[in-house]
Structure 1
Amino acid sequence: MVFAHDTEQSLLAAVTLANSAEPPDTLTSVAELDAFYERFEFTGRRDRTRAELDEVRALRPVLRELLTGDRDDAAALVNTLLAGARALPQLVRHDRFDWHLHAVVADAPLATRIAVEAAMAMIDVIRADELSRLDVCADDDCEAVVLDLSRNRSRRFCSTACGNRNAVAAYRARQAAGS
């Protein structure tokens, strides 16, 4: 484990949400937002409305900027997000998770909680100078964000599909060069 469990979970959620805007858009319905909420084990208020979905969707470019910016820009955006939400970090324990940080109240809007949790996770990334664990997919036709939590820092592609597509292209190029 590179980071604490809540940091990893928040980073994975932020990357997934930012990447949901990549074609094809994978966050278009309240049901898809419900699945996202459950997958990343968010707690607290859920309105289950189109307005809530739209607020979360509007967060995607902000998260992309947060996850792909340089260290100084990321730090400035973290401060902006936390100040805008009037974040007050607190240790909490719930469900299957031991002590971890929440920085806004449980009845804050979902988009606010997602933004603040991503910002809190990025605090750990920035302080540890680990922004190299975040990058854009190495596939020339993909703009998705990659979170590399591997020990040897070897992850280059956002998905198996992008990795496989590049491996096949490299194989074919080697075969063509050998002919």
Structure 2
Amino acid sequence: MVFAHDTEAALVETAALVNTPLDDIAALDAFLREHEDTGVRAGTQDELESVRALRPRFRRFWELGEDELVETVNALLVESRPLPQLVSHDNWGYHLHAVPRDAPLAVRMTVEAAMALVDVVRTGALDRLRGCAYPDCDNVLVDLSKNRSKRFCDAGCGNKSAVNAYRARRAAAVQP
């Protein structure tokens, strides 16, 4: 494990949010189930819009240098006024919640992302946030591999790259 479990979960959720369009409330519901969100939900169009508004804001995390990222994270933390507490619930051991579970979803997501990025910066692991290496893919990823070798997002780009390389090798072998 590179980071604490809650940090990894928040980073993965943040990258997934950037990469996911969330077309409707059902898509948001599915997204939150997949990422095991346990907080209170409004289930409204306003909630969906507030979460969708986070996507371009969060994408910037992958575009900023360390100093700019620190400024951005600090601004998010000031804006959200977290009060970190250790909690244990569901199948999770003790982990950090920085806002109450009944805080608005977008606020919870913002604080969780900001707190996870605190760990990224403190451990000098900013290079673990990168864009997908597949041509024409603008997804982002979090490299949680031990050897820092993840190059492709989770949208099948690694497989597409392998298939393209295989086809290129086959075509080259067939050429006289």
TM (norm. structure 1) is 0.91
Structure 2: distance between partners of 1:164 and 1:83? 41
2:162 maps to 167
2:14 maps to 14
Structure 2: distance between partners of 1:94 and 1:164? 36
Contact 1:15/1:67 (CA < 8 Å) preserved in 2? Answer: no
Q: Aligned in 2, Cα 1:140/1:49: closer, same or farther, shift over 3 Å?
A: same
2:69 maps to 74
Letter in 2 for 1:88: L
1:5 maps to 5
Identity %: 53
Match of 1:129 among 114, 121, 124: 124
Name stretches of at least 5 consecutive residues in structure 2 with no aligned partner: none
Structure 2: distance between partners of 1:6 and 1:169? 36
Does the residue aligned with 1:146 lie in a helix, a strand or coil? strand
Letter in 1 for 2:2: V
Which segment drifts farther, 114-123 or 67-76? 67-76
Letter in 2 for 1:134: L
Letter in 1 for 2:78: A
Cα deviations by residue, 1:51-70 (Å, 9 ceiling, x for unpaired): 00000000001111123422
2:133 maps to 138
Q: How many aligned residue pairs are there?
A: 174
TM (norm. structure 2) is 0.92
Does the residue aligned with 1:141 lie in a helix, a strand or coil? coil
Q: Does 1:151 align with 2:146?
A: yes
Does the residue aligned with 1:98 lie in a helix, a strand or coil? coil
Letter in 2 for 1:34: D
Structure 1: distance between partners of 2:95 and 2:156? 34
1:54 maps to 49
Contact 2:82/2:98 (CA < 8 Å) preserved in 1? Answer: yes
Cα deviations by residue, 1:67-111 (Å, 9 ceiling, x for unpaired): 342211211111111111111211111111111111112221100
Deviation at 1:172, TM superposition (A): 3.2
Name stretches of at least 5 consecutive residues in structure 1 with no aligned partner: none
Letter in 2 for 1:37: L
Q: Does 1:112 align with 2:107?
A: yes
Contact 1:68/1:134 (CA < 8 Å) preserved in 2? Answer: no
Contact 2:134/2:157 (CA < 8 Å) preserved in 1? Answer: yes
Contact 2:87/2:97 (CA < 8 Å) preserved in 1? Answer: yes
